[in-house]
A and B are shown apart, each in its own frame.
Chain A
Amino acid sequence: MTSTNDKQHRHNAKPTKHATIMRGVVAPIFGLLTVLFIVLGALNLTVWKPAREINATTSVSGTRYVVTDAGMLNLLGKSVDIKVSTQGNQPKASSKSNNSNTKNAKATAQTCVALGNAKDATGWLAGQNYTRVTGLDGWKGLSTKLANGPKLGGTQAGDEVAFKDSDMWTNVKCGDSAISMNLNDVKNDQVMIVDMGTGVAKSESAKKFEQPSVTITMHWVRDQVPNHAMPFFIAAGVCVVLTILSASIFAIMANESFKRKRAKRREVREKAKAEEVSISEAMTGSIAVLKTSLTHSSHNHRPSHKIQPSDLAGAGSADVTSNEGDTGAAPDNGSLLPTSSEGGLSDVDVSTPSIIDPTRRNLVADMQMQNDTDENADNEPGVAEKDAAQSDASDSQTQAFDGTSGSRNGETTESRTTEPQGSGEPTAATQGTSGQGSQGADIVSADEGNPDMSWFARHRGKPEPESESDRETSQPVVGRHSRHAVVNHANDDSSVDQGNADKYDNRDHADQLDNADNRDNATNSDNRDGGDRQDTDFRTASVAVSLERPEGDVEPGNGEHAEANDETRTASSADELIDEGHAQAETTVISADELRDYFARFSSETSDDDTNGEAEGAEVTSSEASGDTSGANGDGENA
């Protein structure tokens, strides 16, 4: 409702000036920038793409030697092609140069190009003037510089070798006019030395000292061409994002309705937090509910659960959804939150929470209820109130269940609840169980007034489903079991379904209790400390039933079966289930110990030990102990 208000409000609000500026001015600016950057990037990819091959040329004259700087040869790639062409090696000055001179000039004018170490080149050029090729001059030229070699100790004349004969060069090539050299994998400290020869300078006939000149061309093929387009595309991407943001979020952020909606959402969140119920609270609440329900005498006409203040106080959880109409809401997830439908219940009784899920049937409860109905028909009057109180949970469970099954269940449950009552076991772990009797009375009255309690009205007088069984089935701990138990009952699975299969469980347990008779009662009474015992009894009851079923049915899939089948377990199937459970319950006679063991196995949710009957009480709540493979049933259910 709040959301709709906000929406209306937003529609009514005029766009703020801020929004207008953002959308109308800033966003288009960024859009234009985006386009601009994309265009520039595209240009850099195509027209302005850096060249892959670089040809750099320079002409050098004035010195005999030309040396590249270290790192020059591999400047733009590991390989480089060097071309050295000489011009004017022949003396031109005098036409009177004789042949011998020319020959000499030729012979010594040979240009040589060598590749060697930088330090070797420096050594060779000691005391000499030479030209350095220092780097690139733009992309087409080479920069040069004049330099002087360091002074080194003189060499004995006889020891001097020709340039091309030196041991120091790794590569030497000599030629008259043009020399090409392909160098691969040039190291950083390798340099190229060009020796233009001394012949020309020594030419006698030359009046003018003609220095030879060389043209040096270096050609690289680049492996990687720098990508100038990427920064532009990145900038374009940033601008696109900004365009979108400024057109949408930035414009909105200052909007009034946005703020308002944000505040509203915060409110809602805080409210929800206050209303939330933690899991532990829910569990203890249900246990408390069960306890109270068990101590109450069960009434078959128990209407919807009423959340008693004590329950709420103790467990912190309210939960009742016994109404048929309500069953769908809460029990589906086993939650104990009051649903909206509960809001309609003016007198929700906290002490006897119960979860009614028509889809979760427990054949054990069915049978139990049936038996109770049969056996304890006479208990109704006196027990009605108590039963009603006890079986709040069971009632709700049975109600939903009973919606399908009918009076039989009510009876069975009633009888069931009476038994534990007789032993004085508390039905549920809820606090304030003492008041259950009165609560039952309250409940009874409440039931009458509650339209949801029509079922109870219908079934008034029938023994309530055993509250303890109800309670137990509704226990979250056993709840899972019960759910499976429902299925199992149908499928002959043992499982200690509780909770989900509340109604079924109630009946089954009621039946079981009847069958188990005093034994169960005795055990129940023994265990009736808290909901644990209840659960134990309950479990044993259900176990008894499930024992009849082949354990192979107990599989994790059963849970799914249960869930899937729950929905299908409509009124039509309920009867069948009841019949089955009923029949089976009748046919089974199992000792309480066996039941306990069996039940313990299934009831324990976490441990894999084999059950020991003694631990039942503890087992219920702690979910420890026994689980064997069929306890996997329980485990699977738990999972």
Chain B
Amino acid sequence: MSTKKLLKALTAAALAAATLVGTAACGDQTPQPQGAESSTQTPDITEGQEKAIRKATLSALDASDKAKNPDGLSARVTGPALQVRTSELAIAQATGTMDPKATIPKDIAQTIIPTQSGWPRSVFSITTTTQDQQSKRLLVMTQQSPRSNYKLWGVVRLFQGAKLPEFAIPSIGASLGSPDDSGLSMTPQQAVDEYADVLTHGQQSKFASKFDNDYFRQDLDKLSATVQQGMERNHGTQTQMFTPVKNEIAVMRSSEGGDLVVSQINSEWTRIAGEGRESQPASDAERALFGQGKATGTMKVTYVNVLAFYVPPAKSGKKVVAVGAERQPIKVEAL
């Protein structure tokens, strides 16, 4: 019956019209804020913020350089960087000039910002080469808690020709790692410990095969050899003990799967002069630190070493390799 059909059609049309009108009413409700999606990780700071932080840090360093006084450093420098810097300033006080290797360029070539939600957080920044063509510096700035600020924790001079892995760009944000990251050829903490062993024992270390040769070890070996020659002439001995420092480690995951690890390894160099001779400081730095102290037959020098490694992924077949280092005597003792 067409009438029925018509009635149906009319009813449908009326309902449709009513619905249309009804939707109009929806628009009048006040919108509610939609929370940021927690799944998407955002970088902890912007590049502008990183620049501001770095600027503040460097200006603090500059100020203390000028004053040759580490007093104002603690607001912006912490950890091994603070120790190194304090030592350098002390040496500068004695010698009158800052060690050139303490220079930190103002500009950066790259910054790696994590998307960490919690604390502590670290930001890695790689500077340009210095004006006198020294190698780039890797700066590690850490915020320990929300209520504290970012502070320069570690400065590492990258080796010439050292290859760093790739990281996500700052607008996306990288991933902060942890000392026991898995999926690598060894955990970051392991890498640090075993490297310390290799430094201590050289080729006799059972971990020696796990590490590629690097400039730091070469340099150290040369120095040791030189000192050894001198020592042997006098029938003295020398030992170096490398000890990783607990909890002084920063790990950043690269986009290639490996980790960039920066950690502090302290070392003690004990030189015992033979035949009743005095053991003297072995370098200008040591001498400056030793100052007016009285030399004895034994000299123990404490070094702060900051090492940066690249720990490759497990199946890559590559070895752990050190990509940068910093070595600074902080204490010279005549025992």
Which residues of A come within 8 Å of B, CB atoms? 18, 22, 26, 33, 37, 40, 44, 50, 69-72, 75-76, 117-120, 123-124, 126, 134-139, 152-156, 158-161, 165-168, 170, 188-189, 226-232, 234-235, 238-239, 242, 246, 250, 253-254
Contacts and interface: CB of A to CB of B under 8 A. Distances in A.
A75 B33 CA distance: 6
A100 B98 CA distance: 45
Contact of A71 (B17, B33, B45): B33
A26 B35 contact: no
B10 A167 contact: no
A235 B53 contact: no
Contacts of A154: 145
Contacts of A168: 45, 49, 146
B316 interface: no
11 contacts: A44-B24, A134-B33, A137-B30, A156-B144, A166-B146, A166-B147, A168-B146, A227-B27, A228-B27, A231-B21, A234-B20
Given A40-B21, A188-B36, A238-B16, A76 B31 contact: yes
Contacts of B148: 155-156, 159-161
Nearest to B34: A71
Interface of A (DSSP majority class): mixed
B172 to A, nearest CB: 14
Interface in B30-60: 30-37, 42, 44-46, 48-49, 52-53
B149 interface: yes
Interface in B225-282: none
A123 B119 contact: yes
Contacts of A134: 33
A50 B28 contact: yes
A40 B25 CA distance: 12
A156 B20 CA distance: 61
A139 B30 contact: yes
Interface in B137-159: 143-150
Contacts of B37: 188
Contacts of B35: 69-71
Contact of B17 (A50, A167, A239): A239
A166 B17 contact: no
Given A136-B30, A138-B30, 15 more contacts: A37-B21, A69-B33, A75-B31, A118-B36, A120-B146, A126-B146, A139-B30, A153-B119, A165-B149, A166-B147, A167-B150, A168-B45, A227-B27, A238-B20, A253-B2
B146 A167 contact: no
Given A75-B31, A135-B32, A153-B119, A124 B20 contact: no
B283 interface: no
B109 interface: no
A155 B30 contact: no
B143 A155 contact: no
Given A18-B2, A152-B146, A189-B42, A72 B33 contact: yes
B220 interface: no
A232 B24 contact: yes
A26 B10 contact: yes
Interface in B1-18: 2-3, 6, 9-10, 13-14, 16-17
A583 B68 CA distance: 127
Contacts of A120: 44, 146
Contacts of A44: 24
B147 A228 contact: no
B117 interface: yes
A341 B118 CA distance: 101
Interface size class of B (residues with CB under 8 A): 35 or more
Interface string B75-92: 000000000000000000
B49 A167 contact: yes
Contacts of A69: 33, 35
B94 to A, nearest CB: 29
Nearest to A161: B149
B147 A254 contact: no
A244 to B, nearest CB: 12
Contacts of A226: 27
A573 to B, nearest CB: 61
Contact of B145 (A75, A159, A189, A229): A159
A158 B3 CA distance: 87
A404 B149 CA distance: 114
A167 B24 contact: no
B292 interface: no
Contact of A235 (B9, B21, B33, B117): B21
Contact of A155 (B13, B49, B145): B145
B23 interface: yes
Contacts of B31: 75-76, 136
Nearest to A141: B30
A242 B10 CA distance: 8
Contacts of A238: 13, 16-17, 20
A234 B37 CA distance: 36
Contacts of A166: 146-147, 149
Contacts of A18: 2-3
Given A44-B24, A136-B31, A167-B49, A155 B147 contact: yes
B119 A152 contact: yes
Nearest to A254: B2
Q: 10 shortest A-B CB distances, which residue pairs? A: A123-B146, A189-B36, A71-B33, A159-B148, A155-B145, A231-B24, A70-B36, A136-B30, A235-B20, A235-B17
A165 to B, nearest CB: 7
Contacts of B9: 250
Contacts of B30: 135-139
A155 B144 contact: yes
Contacts of B14: 33
Nearest to A255: B2
Nearest to B21: A235
A234 B18 CA distance: 11
A492 to B, nearest CB: 67
Contacts of B150: 167
Interface in B93-152: 117-119, 143-150
A102 B20 CA distance: 62
A189 B14 CA distance: 44
A502 B331 CA distance: 125
Contacts of B6: 22, 246, 250, 253-254
Contact of B23 (A33, A40, A231): A231
Contacts of B16: 235, 238
Among B30, B32, B35, B45, the most chain A Cβ lie within 10 Å of the Cβ of: B30
A170 B46 contact: yes
Nearest to B33: A71
Contacts of B118: 123, 152
A231 B26 CA distance: 11
B33 A228 contact: no
Contact of A228 (B24, B49, B144, B145): B24
A165 B52 CA distance: 12
A57 to B, nearest CB: 14
B36 A228 contact: no
Contact of B28 (A71, A189, A228, A253): A228
A238 B10 CA distance: 11
A203 B91 CA distance: 48
Contacts of B24: 44, 228-232
A158 B149 CA distance: 11
Nearest to B3: A18
Contact of A167 (B27, B33, B45, B117): B45
A258 to B, nearest CB: 10
A33 B21 CA distance: 11
A239 B20 CA distance: 12
B298 to A, nearest CB: 37
Contacts of B2: 18, 253-254
A188 B34 contact: yes
B143 to A, nearest CB: 7
Contacts of B27: 50, 226-228
Given A70-B33, A253-B2, A254-B3, A167 B21 contact: no
Contacts of A40: 21
